[in-house]
Amino acid sequence: MNRKYNLHLMLPLALFLMAADQLTKWIIVKTMNIGDSVSVIGDILEITSHRNYGAAWGMLQNQMVFFYIITLVVLMAIIYFYRTEAPFKPVMQLGLTLIFAGAVGNFIDRLFRGNVVDFIDTKIINYDFPIFNVADACLTLGVIVLIYEILMNDSKEKKHANI
């Protein structure tokens, strides 16, 4: 049975992810000084206490009012698209839920801390990836899920149009 909206799954998932994001950030703030690092898997994965006063990769440093406004607009857009584009599309609902949870997680940091707590530090094939957090991971996965959904639906619609 395909439900119009899967809020019974998506709402608990969003709440869990937001709680996990805030809990992990709280642990980092309470147990580590900024710049402290603990190896988890050699130099491939480390927990490094870092603060970001901007957006991804440190862009737009100290533009908090801008981030407040943009985040609220994005959250309203996610709710709008959930209601208008995602009915009967559980994969799209998942992508939007992940993005919503990630946006709220980082918004809470900016609102109450004035910065975003980042701590997941990875080095893959000698590339030192920017330090990130659970909310950032949710945002990234959400975008990947939405791209997949859009590409798969577009492919299905083209296939049905040719029949």
pLDDT (tens digit per residue) in 39-90? 999 989 999 999 988 766 666 666 778 888 999 999 999 999 999 999 999 9
In the set 21, 109, 118, 121, the catalytic residue is 118
Whether residue 61 is contained in a domain is answered as yes
* Distance from C-alpha of 125 to C-alpha of 38, rounded to nearest angstrom: 20
Domain count, the chain: 1
111 in Cβ contact with 145 (< 8 Å)? no
* pTM metric for this prediction: 0.88
Our answer to whether residue 136 is catalytic in this structure is: yes
Structure confidence at residue 26 (pLDDT): 98
DSSP state of 114: S
The β-bridge partners of 118 are: 50
Whether residue 37 is contained in a domain is answered as no
Instruction: For residue 92, give its domain range.
Output: 14-28+43-155
Strand order in the sheet with 127-128: 37-41, 45-52, 116-124, 127-128
For residue 10, is pLDDT > 60? Answer: yes
Our answer to whether residue 109 is catalytic in this structure is: no
Whether residue 64 is contained in a domain is answered as yes
